[in-house]
Amino acid sequence: MRKRVLMNGNDAIGEGAIRAGCDAYFGYPITPQNELTSYMANHMQAHGRVFIQAESEVAAVNMVFGAAVTGRRAMTSSSSPGISLKQEGLSYLAAAELPSVIVNVQRGGPGLGNIAPSQSDYFQATKGGGHGDYHLIVLAPYTVQEMHDFTINAFALADRYRNPVMLLTDGRLGQMMEPLTLYSGLPHKIPPKPWALTGARGRKPNHIRSLLLEEGALEQRNLHLQAKYKTIMNELVGYDEYLTHDATVLVVAYGSSARIARGAVDQARAKGVKAGLLRPITLWPFPRARIRQLARKVHGILVVEMSAGQMIEDVQLSAGDRIPIAFEGRMGGGIPEESAVVRAMQRLAKSSPRSARK
């Protein structure tokens, strides 16, 4: 039965994890994701699942490691400074190919920053973050409904690719309330995990390791990981488009910024700018090919982020330098205003050499 409820984004993630069959959750208090940890405290034990408030974010991510080692579905959540603390653990999870879900409800940085929403952890999330050559799969919800749905999907993707999956969201989406339809299906089927540590009963012992000292062994592990990442890049790219069919100005934004950008696209159209929005749903893998394609027909691209401009680098890599790529954003917990985004689109529409030729 489809149930419609009113929830904040953090709770929606928690309920999504529970409905996805999350076996174990480990958290540590940090604003603005505290609702999620409380939600798990209130509901995991009632479902006979594991909940621990860890002594630190570092301990929490390593408890996830332990839970994932057994083949169980495990999750942790935090916000920017806490996610920095988890980076070592994420590198180990990626190295050992342990399925796991990590939620980053971003806040303003750098340093202790503030508790206002931000998107300044994009580099950290999509480029590795910890040491070594690795990638997380990074999903970017932009409604409370997606906070819920993407969490469920995150567990499935983690198992499918044996890879940690990060839900990259922010304090605004975490704290705002919206109606959503709760997932009513069954948790996805867990693929066989013959590698899991369950006790070596009737089989050879299993080892979970990332220390590979034998000559060439670590290179082989890296080649294997890179091959997997290539598969993920081929199979998983996700994005959403709005009015891009005839757009001459393309806006690229994700998460909270995409909500603002969508409103701005409508306003810009009312003012005669043919604007369209591409919203990456997977930040890694990034929708490079589609942006490259759109870059051939639009006159300019505007990137909107709640940061100094991080995703814009991936947009530049995708689009090349054929057309102008502008940026509109705010830092430190500031939220771009719709009107500012509209003005940026108007400027871009006027200045673009391609539009001038017409």
Compare residues 72 and 299 and give the one whose CB is closer to other proteins.
72
Is 243 a binder of other proteins (CB under 8 A)? no
Compare residues 45 and 351 and give the one whose CB is closer to other proteins.
45
- Give the residue, chosen from 202, 216, 246, 357, that forms a contact with other proteins under the rule CB under 8 A: 202
Both ends of the chain: CA-CA distance in Å?
A: 54
Minimum Å gap between C-beta 30 and other proteins is: 16
- Please compute, for residue 173, the number of CA atoms within 13 A of its CA located in the half-sphere on the CB side: 30
Stretch that binds other proteins, among 141-149, 193-201, 278-286, 323-331 (CB under 8 A): 193-201
Is 231 a binder of other proteins (CB under 8 A)? no
Please choose, from the candidates 346, 351, 168, the residue with its C-alpha nearest in 3D space to the C-alpha of residue 258.
Answer: 168
Q: Which residues of 19-49 are buried (b: 16+ CB within 10 A; e: fewer)?
A: bbbbbbbbbbebbbbbbbbbbbeebbeeeeb
Is 3 a binder of other proteins (CB under 8 A)? no
Is 62 a binder of other proteins (CB under 8 A)? yes
What residues from 82 to 121 belong to the interface with other proteins (CB under 8 A)?
88-89, 92, 96
- Give the residue, chosen from 114, 210, 222, 267, that forms a contact with other proteins under the rule CB under 8 A: 210
Amino acid at position 279, single letter: R
Q: Which residues of 249-262 are buried (b: 16+ CB within 10 A; e: fewer)?
A: bbbbbbbbbbbbbb
Instruction: Name the CA dihedral angle for 256, 259, 263, 265, rounded to a multiple of 10 degrees.
Output: 100
- Give the residue, chosen from 13, 15, 20, 23, that forms a contact with other proteins under the rule CB under 8 A: 23
Please choose, from the candidates 293, 244, 299, the residue with its C-alpha nearest in 3D space to the C-alpha of residue 269.
Answer: 244
Compare residues 210 and 316 and give the one whose CB is closer to other proteins.
210
Q: Would residue 335 be called left, alpha or beta, if left means φ above 0 and alpha means ψ between -120 and 50 degrees?
A: beta
Minimum Å gap between C-beta 110 and other proteins is: 24
Q: How many residues bind other proteins (CB under 8 A)?
A: 39
Is 209 a binder of other proteins (CB under 8 A)? yes
Stretch that binds other proteins, among 201-209, 237-245, 262-270, 295-303 (CB under 8 A): 201-209
Is 279 a binder of other proteins (CB under 8 A)? no
Please choose, from the candidates 227, 142, 292, the residue with its C-alpha nearest in 3D space to the C-alpha of residue 219.
Answer: 227
Q: What is the C-alpha to C-alpha distance for residues 85 and 56, in angstroms, rounded to an integer?
A: 9
Residue 154 Cα distances to 56, 87, 150, 296, 316, angstroms: 23, 18, 6, 32, 27
Sign for the CA dihedral angle at 74, 79, 82, 86 comes to positive
Minimum Å gap between C-beta 187 and other proteins is: 16
Residue 207 Cα distances to 61, 73, 340, angstroms: 19, 19, 54
Q: What is the C-alpha to C-alpha distance for residues 133 and 173, in angstroms, rounded to an integer?
A: 30
Minimum Å gap between C-beta 70 and other proteins is: 4
Compare residues 17 and 326 and give the one whose CB is closer to other proteins.
17
Compare residues 85 and 331 and give the one whose CB is closer to other proteins.
85
Is 41 a binder of other proteins (CB under 8 A)? no
What stretch of H or E contains 260? helix 255-270
- Give the residue, chosen from 197, 237, 331, 340, that forms a contact with other proteins under the rule CB under 8 A: 197
Residues 117/171, Cβ–Cβ less than 8 Å = yes
Compare residues 54 and 326 and give the one whose CB is closer to other proteins.
54
Residue appearing with tokens 């974010």: 57
Minimum Å gap between C-beta 167 and other proteins is: 20
Minimum Å gap between C-beta 121 and other proteins is: 21
Is 63 a binder of other proteins (CB under 8 A)? yes
Is 198 a binder of other proteins (CB under 8 A)? yes
Is 215 a binder of other proteins (CB under 8 A)? no
Which chain residues interact with other proteins by CB under 8 A?
Answer: 23-24, 26, 50, 52, 54-56, 58-60, 62-70, 72, 74, 88-89, 92, 96, 197-202, 205-211
